[in-house]
Amino acid sequence: MIDPYDDTYFMKRALQEAEAAYEKDEIPIGAVVAIDNKVIARAHNLTETLNDVTAHAEMQAITAAANYLGGKYLHKCTLYVTIEPCQMCAGALFWSQINRVVYGARDEQRGCIEMNTKLHPKTKLSGGVLSEECSTLLKRFFVEKRNLN
């Protein structure tokens, strides 16, 4: 039987959030947090809108998920994010003790793999889900920015 609630399903939700960021002229990155096949938090990058370097999609999603759960640890949760988390977001995920982190496309310059940021020993990291769609949206954003300047 096909599981309708697979990683692709949740990454599509994260991609919708990235598209919402794109519409606001924000670097288009989106994230959702899921538990038991249910999305409990969704967020997109708002660094420009809020004038705040800490307003990455993942940071907001972690805060929103903890708020939903009524506790700061995300032990049974999975975070889906369209682009591999940076040092800051991976550091926040470390503290959250989250069960899984799934990213879409790699960030080979500023991502936590290249930067060697440590996740919690309990956390499983995987990627490459809808990678093409996630990176295409990001590339389109930067190409358009360059053409405007």
Active site residue 58: yes
Closest separation in Å from C-beta 65 to a second copy: 10
What is the smallest separation between the CB atom of 98 and a second copy, expressed in angstroms?
Answer: 10
- Between 15 and 65, name the residue whose CB sits nearer to a second copy: 65
The catalytic position among 19, 23, 48, 58 is 58
The amino acid sitting at 143 is V
Nearer to a second copy, 74 or 130 (CB): 74
Nearest residue to 80 (alpha-carbon basis) of 10, 148, 3: 10
CA nearest to 41, candidates 54, 32, 30, 51: 32
Q: Specify whether the CB–CB gap between 125 and 90 falls below 8 A.
A: no
Instruction: Establish whether 112 is an annotated binding residue.
Output: no
Contact residues: a second copy, CB under 8 A: 47-48, 51-54, 59, 62-63, 66-67, 70-73, 86-92, 94-96, 115-118
Strand ordering across the sheet containing 78-83: 38-44, 30-35, 78-83, 100-105, 124-126
Enumerate the active-site residues: 58
